[in-house]
Amino acid sequence: EPEVTQTPSHQVTQMGQEVILRCVPISNHLYFYWYRQILGQKVEFLVSFYNNEISEKSEIFDDQFSVERPDGSNFTLKIRSTKLEDSAMYFCASSVGASDTQYFGPGTRLTVL
Amino acid sequence: KQEVTQIPAALSVPEGENLVLNCSFTDSAIYNLQWFRQDPGKGLTSLLLIQSSQREQTSGRLNASLDKSSGRSTLYIAASQPGDSATYLCAVRGSNFNKFYFGSGTKLNVKP
């Protein structure tokens, strides 16, 4: 069964460094999402992406964040200058259509020191 | 802003019991609602998706209902098994359908 994959599974970085989290959505899906989950807290929506542009973003998704679909398969989340409070599990998800089931990847645990 | 609440926060039941997990949301103008399962340290597994025009969805031992006007959804698990132990999350897609709002989850423990 097709699945969303994410790399790396765990990323450790120093505060102020840039990180890129990578995702490969399910191949025939058109909508892509990033979420984060700080330890012990709710899953929070960050951004949705369709047709090579952001369709919606939350208040959390400020100028330090960016997303890109650099080729036909990858979907990336870049955090330009990481802060301690960016430490969280980051989930990528994809869906065929906007109203369809979202399928989540296993997540990338980001630790900012 | 949409707020999603799940009650109870934790639930421990003996194997074989039927149980109900609750999800409530403050803004009834939703597009759809999705129930997920999350195992410790893992991603989210989709269980059921209910569109705003639907009243319920079923998959195996799971049945999810939606009452949009009262802002409630329930997930019914029949004949619970130890393998059902996980955190169950509900997520509501807002009326602009590009934002998802999650509840805090119900942590279920099914004892053998």
d(CA A14, CA A7): 18
pLDDT at A69: 92
| Residue of higher predicted confidence among B96 and B38 | B38
What confidence category does residue A111 fall into, taking pLDDT thresholds of 50, 70 and 90?
very high
Q: Choose between B100 and B4: higher pLDDT.
A: B4
For B52, nearest residue in chain A (alpha carbons): A99
Q: Do A103 and B46 touch (CB under 8 A)?
A: yes
Q: Which residues of B touch A111 (CB under 8 A)?
A: none
List strands edge to edge, sheet with A75-79. Answer: A5-7, A19-24, A75-79, A65-68
pLDDT of B97 over the 70 cut: no
> Using a CB-CB distance cutoff of 8 angstroms, which residues of chain A are in contact with residue B96?
56
- Put simply, the answer to whether B43 touches A98 (Cβ < 8 Å) is no
Out of A45, A55, A103, the one facing B100 most closely (by C-beta) is A45
Distance CA B40, CA A39 (A): 11
Q: What is the pLDDT of residues A34-88, one digit of tens each?
A: 999 999 899 999 999 999 999 989 999 999 999 999 887 899 999 999 999 999 9
Model pLDDT, residue A73? 87
